[in-house]
Amino acid sequence: MSRLCSLLAAIGMASMTMTGIANPATAQVRPPAVPLVTHDPYFSVWSLNNTLTENWTHHWTGAINAMVGMAMIDYRPYRFMGPMPDVAPAMKQTGLEITPTKTVYTLEANGVRLKLSFLSPLLPDDIDLLSRPVTYVNFEVSSIDGHPHSVKLYYDVTGEWVVNRPDQKVAWQKVEVPGLKTARIGTDSQKILNRPGDDLRIDWGYMYVSAGGPGVSQATTSDRDARDTFFSTGNLPAKDDMRMPRQASDAWPVIATKIDVGRVGASPVSRHLMLAYDQIYAIELMHTKLKPYWARNGMNIKGLLADSEKKYTSVSKRCTEFDKRITADMTKMGGKSYAELCTLAYRQCMAANVVVAGEHGEPLQFPKENFSNGCISTVDVIYPSAPFFLLFNTKLLKAQLTPVLDYAVSGRWKFPFAPHDLGTYPLANGQVYGGGENNERDQMPVEESGNMLLMLAAMSRIDGNADYAKKYWSELTRWADYLKAKGLDPENQLCTDDFAGHLAHNTNLSLKAILALQGFADMAKTLGHTDVAANYSTAAKEMASKWVEMAKDGDHYRLTFDRANTWSQKYNLVWDKLLGYGIFPSDLAKTEIAYYKKVQNKYGLPLDNRSKYTKLDWTVWSATMADNKADFEALVNPLMLMVNDTTSRVPLTDWFWTNDAKQTGFQARSVVGGVFIKMLENPQMWKKWAGGGR
């Protein structure tokens, strides 16, 4: 069947409104992209449409990673996933619920209701579990018309999931896993960790589809043979086709799974399958290949599938409980719109990272700078995402910072300030940004040094000790000295908002440097370095006093010290409130918030006076500086309006236009974890959620 015909036929489909995010009782929300399979930058698949039957599912980059689902109800075929109107009519989608770990679609046809759920169990206090690249796909079927119905389910995934280009050849293989029907698919060439880059899909390792229970069968064949056979007979092809056909957009090899549910009444019947991806090696760190964290103790993919199947019920229950608890707390802290925003950000933040095992089996986590430049372990990407990891598990933040800090003290990094990155994903072999580790051009000296010190200071506060920072104290002192000398009035240089270009005398960057010095002093005090703490704290307070005089511009504060009638978001100031430093006047934040409300647009607060674009993460940081709920919601609610109205159907963009809600650039990045910063405002939240980090 031609995909072109399917897509043309799907264009005229009417969109539908979806039920609430994280709580069915909330108002209706239309996410720009719906998370389905969310584990790491390579194993990340989304629905970019209002219904699952409008279009194919896509990798976060926009490439098609197709799934097809059909239901044979009383010998009549319907589809619940995939745009194939010439194969089977679509079930009516009546609901969509998104929680932090799960997406649930409700569909109906011929007297039967199907609840289709995708569960990626990314529980932050269980690193072994969240590192497992396994998504559970659950099918809950029931009769809604008072009559029993015969139901068979069909589901397939295509070879697109394992290739970067459509001309690459793939091979299938049945796999023996006790109690489970299992098959895998992967490229024929298997060039592991073959190249770095941004807009790329994985083309090594193997994808697995595995299902247990009665009535399960599998076929490895072409999409046309599998789908046509089920449509016509309710069965799969009798014989597997193990050839490697030439790839084409209308003839992909698939792993097809059939589940014969049998007669279904009013009581729901649930069956599930598992999607898994074994990368074999996931990251290269300083020219050493590292395995995924889940494989560190000799676990192989067969064992992983068997164990994941065994734990499905308990894992599903844990995720349900986690979703309820964190959603209640997010709503309590920031309101309904804030909770909805955090819910959409949750799996995206985690799926832009991968967790691997270090030399001694310790967890190391590597973020990818998605749709920016593809850098790996970018410090000014880790920084905006840090609130997520500070809240849920500081071990995960340490897992991101350790490779950067080890690189900084290795002797290869020769500058007196912190590095920007470790390479281009998935090869973390040394900085590539700004001309590389031997070139000072286009570095971010104040930015990255301030980022590292602030993250370490916040982590030390949550952990109740600075033991982690102690190991790197000499290097941290070097960075603090650099900020002490260069931070108050930064020279012409880039900051994390590098898309805006070089900027001298940046007041927001200065705020970062000053608060980072106070953070360094705070860690020194924790470590018992009383004199050092007093020295750097005094310097920070003196710089803060000068900042206020230099930046004041009537009813707000300037973008740069030397330009009157300018303004910018002072999102770095939020740490003065969160960490209780109080080195800036209390009315500074109030003055800024009052001004922000005057200059914001329909879809949010611009980043500064130079343009109408903004950053999602920084806007929430700025809003968190507010001292009352009304002001916070005044700045955050337009962000959810953007989410609902944007025509840019991509996983949350963090860089968009505030006048029309369209994407400026960036998508699917981990920085959206920064929206959790409001949760750090209440120390009780630290104590409640951050136990896994101690």
**pLDDT tens across 421-449, in order?**
999 999 999 999 988 998 888 899 999 99
Q: Give the 3-state secondary structure percentages of the chain, helix then strand then coil, rounded to 5.
A: 40, 25, 40
Residue whose pair of structure tokens reads 């999607």 in the numeric block:
275
pLDDT at 16 over 50: no
- Residue type, position 452, single letter: M
pLDDT at 274 over 60: yes
**CATH 2.70.98.40 residue ranges for the chain:** 3-319
Cα(627)–Cα(684) distance, rounded to whole angstroms? 17
**pLDDT tens across 652-683, in order?**
999 999 999 999 999 999 999 999 999 999 99
What pLDDT is attached to residue 644?
97
The first and second tokens of residue 582, run together, are 């109080």
pLDDT band at 293, cuts 50/70/90?
A: very high
Determine the topology of domain 3-319 in CATH: Beta-galactosidase; Chain A, domain 5 (2.70.98)
Query: For residue 375, what is the DSSP state?
Result: B
Residue range 136-156: mean pLDDT, rounded: 98
What pLDDT is attached to residue 642?
98
Which residues does 26 contact at the CB level (< 8 Å), separation at least 6? 20, 336, 340
**CATH 1.50.10.10 residue ranges for the chain:** 335-592
pLDDT at 1 over 50: no
What pLDDT is attached to residue 246?
46
Phi-psi sector, 102: left (phi>0), alpha (psi -120 to 50), beta: beta
What pLDDT is attached to residue 3?
38
Residues 315 and 129: beta-carbon distance below 8 Å: yes
pLDDT at 692 over 70: no
HEC letters along 223-288: HHHHHHHHHHHCCCCCCCCCCCCCCECCECEEEEEEEEEEEECCCCEEEEEEEEEECCCCEEECCE
Three-state DSSP at 57 gives: coil
What pLDDT is attached to residue 609?
98
**pLDDT tens across 167-226, in order?**
898 988 999 999 999 999 999 999 999 999 999 999 999 999 999 999 999 999 999 999
What pLDDT is attached to residue 11?
28
What pLDDT is attached to residue 250?
57
What pLDDT is attached to residue 248?
46
pLDDT band at 15, cuts 50/70/90?
A: very low
Number of alpha helices (DSSP H) and beta strands (DSSP E) in the chain: 18, 24
Greatest C-alpha distance within the chain: 81
Residue range 96-121: mean pLDDT, rounded: 98
- Residue type, position 61, single letter: T
Task: Kindly report the pTM of this predicted structure.
Answer: 0.94
Residue range 41-69: mean pLDDT, rounded: 97
The first and second tokens of residue 143, run together, are 């009769």
What pLDDT is attached to residue 29?
85
Cα(308)–Cα(323) distance, rounded to whole angstroms? 20
What pLDDT is attached to residue 28?
64
pLDDT band at 458, cuts 50/70/90?
A: very high
What pLDDT is attached to residue 238?
87
pLDDT at 694 over 60: no
Query: For residue 673, what is the DSSP state?
Result: G
Cα(563)–Cα(568) distance, rounded to whole angstroms? 12
Residue range 245-273: mean pLDDT, rounded: 86
Cα(593)–Cα(619) distance, rounded to whole angstroms? 11
Three-state DSSP at 211 gives: strand
More confident residue, 504 or 13: 504
335-592 to CATH, choices 2.40.70.10, 2.60.40.3140, 1.50.10.10, 1.10.260.40:
1.50.10.10
Beta strand 427-428 with 283-285 is: parallel
Cα(233)–Cα(230) distance, rounded to whole angstroms? 5
Rounded percentage of the chain residues whose pLDDT exceeds 90 = 89
**pLDDT tens across 474-502, in order?**
999 999 999 999 999 999 999 999 989 99
Average of per-residue pLDDT values in the chain: 93
Q: Which of 288, 279, 327, 314 is nearest to 131 (CA)?
A: 279
- H or E segment at 209? strand 206-212
Cα(485)–Cα(479) distance, rounded to whole angstroms? 10
Cα(586)–Cα(506) distance, rounded to whole angstroms? 21
pLDDT at 627 over 50: yes
Exposed/middle/buried for residue 426 (C-beta within 10 Å: 0-12, 13-18, 19+): buried
- Residue type, position 363, single letter: P
Residues 584 and 557: beta-carbon distance below 8 Å: no
